[in-house]
Amino acid sequence: MSKRLWFYTNYHCNLACTYCLTESSPSVPKRIFQPEEMISIAKQASELGFESIGITGGEPFLIPTLVDTLHSILDILPVTLLTNGTLFHKKRIEELRSLAGRDLRMQISLDYATPQENDAMRARGNFEKVIQAIPLLLDIPLHIRVASTIDQHTSQEEDALNKLVHKLGIPKKDHIVRKIIHRGRAQSQGLGINASIEELMPELTLTVDGAFWSPFAPTYKDGRLQKDLLISNTIQPLSAPVDILLSFIAQIPYQANEHTAGFV
Ligand code: SF4
């Protein structure tokens, strides 16, 4: 089992990407994981031997107190935070300066090397916002990674994307490329590759709905939670879903797959 514990902070998002696993958008129920509960569970995670925390959504930066929560969790364990990178206005950049030097990796989505192609999957103006934000974040300095979720990219499109990410100052080791997974809105849109439970690396993932097999699991389709990878409705004490996941792992052979192995 991975030694990273994931939280879904919320399910709403300022974007509504065509392949979103969680059908996130500005209008969906927020399903907010209360910060105090996340911090309490992070402490339990540390005591149980977890080595890091992953945070995703929805868009975590829609939670006004996110930076304070990050500081509290970073006092306990290192954090990898996934964001769409579009909410980094001047005030937010100033606020993020307090995170310089902390054990935080911020992973920003960028799917294509041109605004036309990128924004067709994500939102108009997304490309420009991300391109402008990355140098500001690197200047703070923060550890920035770029995640590219791809579907039918040609080798030329992949090359162009790699060159752009390099030009932005992101080293190859910090550029994560993975396929769209055929769940959630991607499933409704006929996008992505199937991923069985055997292909998804077990990484305990908590949301307000319960505990799941992996961060690819707590998906929504047609407004309903997809429960096939829900392992427990109980998330506290953390030892309860940990024990359940371990018992599943004992029965299910996991086979690594470069595209379904993990979120980061
Ligand atoms: S893929 Fe990410 S950025 Fe896009 S709608 Fe879903 S949560 Fe928001």
Taking only the tens place, the pLDDT of each residue in 140-162 is: 999 999 999 988 788 999 999 99
Provide CB contacts within 8 A for 4, sequence distance 6+.
50, 51, 52, 53, 54, 80, 203, 264
User: For the segment 75-123, what is each residue's pLDDT rounded down to a tens digit?
Assistant: 999 999 999 999 999 999 999 999 999 999 999 999 999 999 999 999 9
DSSP H helical segments within the chain, as ranges?
A: 35-48, 66-74, 90-96, 115-121, 126-139, 155-167, 184-188, 239-251
- Give yes or no for residue 85 CB within 6 A of ligand 1: no
Cα distance between residue 257 and residue 201, in whole Å: 9
pLDDT, residue 146, reads 98
Ligand 1 and 15: CB distance under 6 A: yes
Around Cβ 158, how many Cβ atoms within 10 Å? 15
Nearest in space to 8 (alpha carbons), one of 68, 56, 62: 56
CA of 98 to the centre of ligand 1 (A): 26
Whether the pTM exceeds 0.85: the reply is yes
The mean pLDDT value for 189-198 works out to 93
The ranges assigned to domains in the chain are 4-251
Which residue owns the Cα nearest ligand 1 atom 7?
Answer: 58
> pLDDT (tens digit, 9 = 90+) per residue, 31-44?
999 999 999 999 99
Question: What pLDDT is attached to residue 152?
Answer: 78
Q: Is the pLDDT of residue 213 over 90?
A: yes
Q: Is the dihedral of CA 49, 55, 56, 62 positive or negative?
A: positive
List pLDDT tens digits, range 24-75: 999 999 999 999 999 999 999 999 999 999 999 999 999 999 999 999 999 9
Beta-bridge partners for 83: 108
C-beta of 84 in contact with ligand 1 (< 6 A): yes
**For atom 4 of ligand 1, which residue has the closest CA?**
17
Q: Is the CB of 9 under 6 A from ligand 1?
A: no
| Cα–ligand 1 centroid distance for 18 (angstroms) | 9
Substitution candidate for ligand 1 out of 9, 11, 15 with most atoms within 8 A of CB: 15
Q: What is the mean pLDDT of the chain?
A: 95
Rounded to whole angstroms, how far apart are CA atoms 245 and 50? 14
Dmax (CA) for the chain in angstroms is 50
What is the CATH code of the structural domain delimited by 4-251? 3.20.20.70
